[in-house]
Amino acid sequence: MKLKSKVTAPFKRKSHATIPGSIIYTGNNTVEKVSVHHLKYDEFKAEDRVFDSNEKGTLLPSDEDIVDWYDVRGMQDTNLIEAIGKTYGIHPLILESIVDVNQRPRFDENEKGIFITIRALHFDKEKQEISKEHVAIYLIKGLVISFQETSSDLFESVRDRILSSKGRVRQRGSDYLVYALLDAIIDNYYITLDSFESVIEQVEDDVMEDHHEDIKGDIHNLKKELIVVRKSIAPLREALSRFSKTENTIVYESTFDYLRSLYENTVQIMDSVESYRDMLNSLQDLFMTEVSYKMNKVMQVLTIVSTIFIPLTFVAGIYGMNFDHIPELHFKNGYFIAWGFMIVVALLLVYYFKRRKWL
């Protein structure tokens, strides 16, 4: 298996050599058209519609008792984001975070609302790559605004459950919806890490059986990908720890159990990331040992062959000399005696190698 590591660089912050708090999308996933998916529901009914980001001013909560979820797909429309910021009075630095794909996962809150950024991870089995997607979620009472980089939907399962009225989500408020969205992303981590683990196991088999030459690069790439994954998850754990302890009244008492379980999931995921790290280090050691061990075998073969034949060749060389007077040459069975002598030497050497366990 040949791995190609195209993990996006761990960070490439915009060089906003300009003004702090300016809203500039720093990713590469420009969608053709930024669209907003609006889904409003309560326990009894749910309805969804899609509209253009041009129809501004529409991202308003519809009603007190209804949950409104605006799902913005595509981040390059900074006007829209600025408009939202103005509508809800969001701090400029938070607006900056929404579109900064290199932002670490973070949790911010004030009396009005709660803001959380997270990275969705996706393992592409074809290309053997982990790709990241920046996601931002803003929560106020009765309203959730989510921001995704691309038009492919990370939250499809949640949307389906709401529309088909499966599970608890319809009976609960906007805070539970945020939980459901985060849970959908974190669920994906498990799948991603499962794939990652199967790749490690594959490389492990390769090391053991030595199929190809790229193992050393593979291990290095896996290590690099893991470094990137780790940088996404470690701050998330911290952010969720703070989320699950928030004293904000937007979050109902009954949701905390769910948030805590989400937090425990990230702890478990970090555990796994750490153990993959240990495994890769152990695998690296194993490969090094494997290489040394194989070299040892190669050297033994060389040593055995050389050590047996070099002295014999010397003997042959001796009797190939052209001195006028070499008595042995004229012995009747000189040639056969020489052969006998050489065979005895060879056997002795073979015995010696056997005893040293080189043969």
For the segment 107-136, give every residue that binds a copy of itself (CB under 8 A): none
* Interacting residue with a copy of itself among 6, 33, 224, 354 (CB under 8 A): 224
Shortest Å, Cβ 42 to a copy of itself: 19
Residue number, 49 or 332, with CB nearest to a copy of itself:
332
Q: Which stretch binds a copy of itself (CB under 8 A): 23-31, 54-62, 111-119, 312-320?
A: 312-320
CA-nearest of 267, 20, 25, 247 to 114 is 247
In the window 16-45, what residues touch a copy of itself (CB under 8 A)? 16-21
Smallest gap from Cβ 99 to a copy of itself, in A, equals 15
- What whole-number distance in Å separates Cα of residue 148 and Cα of residue 156? 12
- Angle (CA) 12-103-247 rounded to 5° is 170
Of 70, 107, 258, 263, which one interacts with a copy of itself (CB under 8 A)?
258
Residue number with CB closer to a copy of itself (56 or 223):
223
Nearest to 250 by CA among 178, 175, 143, 357: 175
Residues numbered 46-75 forming contacts with a copy of itself, rule: CB under 8 A: none
Among 194, 340, 344, 348, binds a copy of itself (CB under 8 A): 194
Of positions 54, 62, 152, 275, contacts a copy of itself by CB under 8 A: 275
Task: Compare residues 51 and 339 and give the one whose CB is closer to a copy of itself.
Answer: 339
CB-based burial of residue 59 (10 Å sphere; 0-12 exposed, 13-18 middle, 19+ buried)? buried
Tell me the C-alpha distance between 134 and 148, whole Å.
7
- Output the DSSP codes for 138-196: EEETTEEEEEESSSS-TTHHHHHHHHHT-SSGGGS-HHHHHHHHHHHHHHHHHHHHHHH
Residue 67 in 3-state DSSP? strand
Instruction: Give min distance, CB of 94 to a copy of itself, in A.
Output: 9
Closer of 31 and 352 to a copy of itself (Cβ):
352
- Between CA 229 and CA 78 the distance in angstroms is 28
Q: Give dist(CA 105, CA 121) in Å, integer.
A: 12
Taking a C-beta distance cutoff of 8 angstroms, is the pair 107, 244 a contact?
no
Among 163, 291, 345, 350, binds a copy of itself (CB under 8 A): 291
111, 125, 247, 333: which one contacts a copy of itself (CB under 8 A)?
333
Please identify which residue in 268, 341, 343, 354 interacts with a copy of itself, judged by CB under 8 A.
268
Report the b/e string of 64-74 with b at 16+ CB within 10 A. Answer: eebbbbbbbbb
Question: Of residues 227-256, which lie at the interface with a copy of itself (CB under 8 A)?
Answer: 227-228, 230-231, 234-235
Give buried/exposed letters for 22-47 (b at 16+ CB in 10 A, else e): ebebbbebebeebbbbbbbbeeeebe
Among 301, 343, 344, 359, binds a copy of itself (CB under 8 A): 301
Position 168 contacts a copy of itself (CB under 8 A):
yes
Q: In what order do the strands lie in the sheet containing 114-124?
A: 46-52, 35-41, 67-73, 143-148, 129-140, 114-124, 106-109
**Binding segment for a copy of itself among 41-49, 125-133, 243-251, 282-290 (CB under 8 A)?**
282-290
Q: How far is the CB of 180 from a copy of itself (least distance, A)?
A: 7
Stretch that binds a copy of itself, among 13-21, 49-57, 82-90, 111-119 (CB under 8 A): 13-21
Please, what is the minimum distance in Å from the beta carbon of residue 17 to a copy of itself?
6
